[in-house]
């Protein structure tokens, strides 16, 4: 047999990626390891019996919707239900404002396809969701990091010239931060003034533990034209992954109708349509009130876990790390007290000690931010979280990080 | 209220697209219109009762797989089942050769992401599947059309310098053509010699009406290294959409492990993982033998419809069109006897006469091929097909196309 000839090269972006997400997923299969790196929900909250009954019922009752091809924009009845759910006294939504995605990640992928040419600019809340960086890497964008809590933050300067601004105002991944109302309003005003699309990614919006939710930016934006279907610059994204179950892979984008039409062109070439089975299950679950039914249990579990994590961190990690207790979401973001802390270098020590956390480098398009850690508190119970923190302290000791 | 500022522009590829697929989908909602444009299966073949029972069962029995996040490459048990299904005496497959996609279209999207930089070359079987052109448009490739049935076809010249060659050897969409064994072998030999990836897209492989299937190119390629897991240049793609039901949105790519790893990086940023619900339903359906159970019914229905369509075409359309009776698949490809026939111009006459077919321009990356039509025979019964052909003949008359 002759020598195998060289294959054509893979696209450039593949050489610029990292596989840390796969490391996280693989970590969940290492025996005995406490995985606090991912963003996984607690599986005992999944409404299994209800979803099993719904699944059988929708196949029987809606066989063409479930088993045939569906409209690229999503099942009309699900779009209507989402329009109703997210309409408010300020925000008027019709079916034309709503687009169904194969969960939140697909919304980010399609966003990149419709708005990015190579080298174009994204104004990105910093630190930035790893999955968003993954989704846009094949489009080769450039980034302007925007730090919303910086006292000198200037929203107009931040947004000007960008194809879009990307924000996670509710309990941001990775920082856990809740963006205050004044900053939301400033972003909306800047989007209206500059014209730039303002993406409000909201997978964690229902996971608030210490108070009522703040107004959405799309609602604030809608105040400019009350009573008319939304046509402004905010692109609001959500998912059932944290509200019901990630395995359904159903999410949504709510935006101006012209933006929805562009997304539809991109989805035609991405997966043609989201599964009719999962869409019909999602619709029946929403109509049956499953989100509201399981939400109190989810909030109760996650609040207790957050508290247990933060108690253990105060006891074992406060010499090395600073953090704010997050008021919602799934993560604590902990920053090295020593500016020279390198959490990429800490990770192997953590793995050796039997715990996995997410180093800050993966939440930075440049990979340079090495000073912080993202610690998840939704997937492990209180005793596992406490033990995980003890192991992390041992990793700091093993690495010889100086105590503050 | 001030004048609305200009929004950032959409990506360039959006201005180069056509929305003919959406026109086809919309056509199915026009009352009384006979839609022979799409590629839809006959919904009465869907195994509804079996799938309803399976859906409920998998939610109960595999709740973590169904409702949680899954591995990006696909459910391990489904990858194993597909490796087993497509292994042959010639072709050795392991789990590492198999990748689960959110149906066939996603395979094409991910293929473009991992192999295409702007301007790079695809060697494409001509005429070309519309959905493939849609999937790759955001990557801005260039095309070399390859005509496999041309007596002067030179496979090495066709593949040399291309990132990949794209073929649909079984009952190609749109041409319905079955690529003969000699040409398959020539393509495989050329891929081995040039190193170019050779994509074998096979959504219609089980829809053969007049004889046994021909050998797959991936099997022919595997003969070069018998007994070892496949590591060659063929990328084989399939889907459950035509074998069970499109609404599941489950497909697969079978290729060398290194290619699977590249696809996984692309899928991480596309939809993270395919729904665990649809994957578990697909696996249970395969294990229950549902594909084999419903295949005889599908073949019987589609064979009769093909025959009825061709009989009606001979009676009503042979003055204007030439075609070969396809031995499988879903389409008849009919070419104008008059080289100046313009089927883009025919389409509005057809719609006015109450029938929709697919004009050849959409199967050409340049849009220049206006001489042919793709006519689907799987979605309408014999009497509808006959009436649709009569209406199409009226459209030719209304347009005043000269009779040969």
Average confidence score pLDDT of chain A: 94
Asked if the Cβ–Cβ distance from A273 to B249 is below 8 Å, we say yes
Does the structure's ipTM exceed the value 0.90?
A: yes
Asked if the Cβ–Cβ distance from A138 to B277 is below 8 Å, we say no
Residue of chain B nearest A42, judged by CA positions: B68
Q: Are A220 and A83 contacting, i.e. CB atoms less than 8 angstroms apart? A: no
Q: With a CB-CB cutoff of 8 Å, which residues 55-74 of chain A face chain B? A: 55-57, 59-60, 63-72
Q: Is B317 an 8 Å CB contact of chain A?
A: no
Q: Which of B136, B269, B270 to mutate to test the interface with A (most CBs of A within 10 A)?
A: B269
pLDDT at A21 over 70: no
Which portions of chain B are predicted below pLDDT 70? 1-4, 17-26, 28, 404
Give the nearest partner residue to A278 out of B6, B109, B278, using CB atoms. B278
The minimum CA-CA distance between B271 and chain A, rounded to whole Å, is 5
The minimum CA-CA distance between B294 and chain A, rounded to whole Å, is 15
Per-residue pLDDT tens for A274-321?
999 999 999 999 999 999 999 999 999 999 999 999 999 999 999 999
Task: Choose the weakest-confidence range: A16-30, A71-85, B124-138.
Answer: A16-30
Contacts of B59 in chain A (CB under 8 A): 48, 51-52, 55
The C-alpha atoms of residue B93 and residue A237 are separated, in whole angstroms, by 40
Position B24 scores a pLDDT of 62
Position A313 scores a pLDDT of 98
Q: Is A142 an 8 Å CB contact of chain B?
A: no
* B105 φ/ψ sector (left φ>0, alpha ψ -120 to 50, else beta): alpha
**What is chain B's alpha carbon radius of gyration, rounded to the nearest angstrom?**
22
Give the nearest partner residue to B106 out of A53, A135, A270, using CB atoms. A270
- The residue whose two tokens read 């499953």 is A290
Is the preceding peptide bond at B12 cis, omega within 30 degrees of 0?
no
Asked if the Cβ–Cβ distance from B8 to A163 is below 8 Å, we say yes
Position A22 scores a pLDDT of 60
Position A244 scores a pLDDT of 95
The C-alpha atoms of residue B22 and residue B35 are separated, in whole angstroms, by 13
Give the nearest partner residue to A247 out of B21, B43, B68, using CB atoms. B68
Position A1 scores a pLDDT of 43
Give the nearest partner residue to B277 out of A21, A248, A264, using CB atoms. A248
- Global pTM reads 0.96
Q: With a CB-CB cutoff of 8 Å, which residues 345-384 of chain A face chain B? A: none
Position B29 scores a pLDDT of 74
The C-alpha atoms of residue B361 and residue B369 are separated, in whole angstroms, by 5
The C-alpha atoms of residue A265 and residue A269 are separated, in whole angstroms, by 7
- % of chain A at pLDDT higher than 70: 96
Q: Is B37 an 8 Å CB contact of chain A?
A: no
Segment A233-237 shows an average pLDDT of 98
Q: Is B224 an 8 Å CB contact of chain A?
A: yes
Question: What residues form DSSP beta bridges with B278?
Answer: none
Q: Is A108 an 8 Å CB contact of chain B?
A: yes
Q: Are A280 and A65 contacting, i.e. CB atoms less than 8 angstroms apart? A: yes
Q: Are A126 and A166 contacting, i.e. CB atoms less than 8 angstroms apart? A: no
Position A24 scores a pLDDT of 62
- The CA–CA distances, whole Å, from B96 to A23, B79, B83, B234 equal 17, 8, 9, 15
Non-local CB neighbours of B52 within 8 Å, separated by 6+ positions: A55, A56, A57, A59, A60
Q: Is B137 an 8 Å CB contact of chain A?
A: yes
Q: Is B43 an 8 Å CB contact of chain A?
A: yes
The C-alpha atoms of residue B380 and residue B365 are separated, in whole angstroms, by 29
Segment A250-278 shows an average pLDDT of 97
Asked if the Cβ–Cβ distance from A105 to B8 is below 8 Å, we say no
pLDDT at A357 over 60: yes
Cα-Cα-Cα-Cα dihedral of B207, B209, B211, B216, to 10°? -20
Backbone angles phi, psi at B385, to 5 degrees: -60, -45
Residue A198 token pair = 């303002």
Give the residue among B140, B66, B97 at the shortest CA–CA distance from B238. B97
- The residue whose two tokens read 């094949």 is A138
Q: Which of B3, B8, B257, B258 to mutate to test the interface with A (most CBs of A within 10 A)?
A: B8
pLDDT at A229 over 50: yes
Give the residue among A401, A379, A383 at the shortest CA–CA distance from A311. A383
Classify residue A113 by its DSSP letter.
Answer: H
Q: Is A136 an 8 Å CB contact of chain B?
A: yes
Per-residue pLDDT tens for A120-129?
999 999 999 9
Position A30 scores a pLDDT of 82
Question: What residues form DSSP beta bridges with B236?
Answer: B200, B254
Give the nearest partner residue to B56 out of A52, A136, A266, using CB atoms. A52
């Amino acid at each position: 047999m002759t020598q195998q000839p060289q294959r054509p090269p893979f696209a450039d972006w593949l050489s610029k990626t990292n596989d840390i997400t796969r490391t996280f997923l693989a970590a969940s299969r290492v025996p005995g390891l406490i995985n606090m790196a991912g963003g996984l929900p607690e599986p005992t909250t999944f409404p299994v019996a209800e979803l099993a009954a719904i699944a059988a019922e929708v196949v029987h009752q809606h066989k063409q919707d479930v088993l045939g091809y569906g409209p690229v924009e999503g099942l009309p009845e699900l779009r209507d239900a989402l329009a109703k759910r997210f309409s408010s006294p300020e925000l008027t939504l019709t079916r034309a404002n709503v687009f169904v995605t194969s969960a939140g990640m697909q919304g980010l992928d399609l966003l990149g396809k419709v708005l990015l040419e190579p080298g174009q600019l994204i104004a990105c809340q910093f630190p930035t969701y790893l999955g968003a960086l993954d989704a846009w890497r094949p489009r080769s964008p450039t980034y302007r990091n925007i730090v919303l809590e910086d006292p000198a933050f200037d929203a107009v300067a931040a947004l000007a010239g960008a194809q879009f601004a990307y924000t996670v105002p509710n309990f941001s991944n990775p920082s856990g931060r809740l963006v205050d109302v004044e900053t939301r309003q400033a972003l909306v005003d800047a989007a209206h003034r500059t014209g730039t699309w303002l993406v409000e990614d909201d997978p964690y919006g229902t996971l608030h533990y210490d108070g009522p939710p703040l107004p959405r930016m799309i609602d604030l934006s809608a105040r400019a034209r009350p009573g008319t279907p939304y046509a402004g610059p905010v692109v609001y994204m959500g998912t059932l992954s944290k509200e019901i179950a990630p395995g359904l892979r159903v999410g949504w984008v709510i935006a101006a109708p012209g933006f929805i039409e562009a997304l539809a062109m991109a989805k035609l070439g991405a997966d043609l349509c989201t599964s009719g089975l999962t869409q019909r299950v999602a619709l029946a679950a929403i109509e049956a009130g499953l989100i509201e039914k399981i939400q109190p249990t989810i909030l109760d579990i996650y609040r207790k876990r957050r508290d247990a994590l933060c108690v253990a961190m105060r006891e074992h990690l406060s010499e090395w790390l600073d953090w704010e207790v997050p008021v919602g979401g799934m993560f604590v973001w902990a920053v090295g007290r020593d500016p020279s802390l390198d959490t990429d270098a800490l990770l192997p020590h953590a793995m050796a000690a039997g715990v996995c956390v997410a180093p800050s480098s993966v939440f930075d398009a440049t990979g340079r931010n090495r000073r912080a850690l993202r610690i998840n508190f939704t997937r492990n119970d209180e005793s596992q979280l406490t033990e995980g923190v003890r192991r992390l302290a041992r990793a700091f000791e093993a690495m010889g990080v100086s105590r503050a």
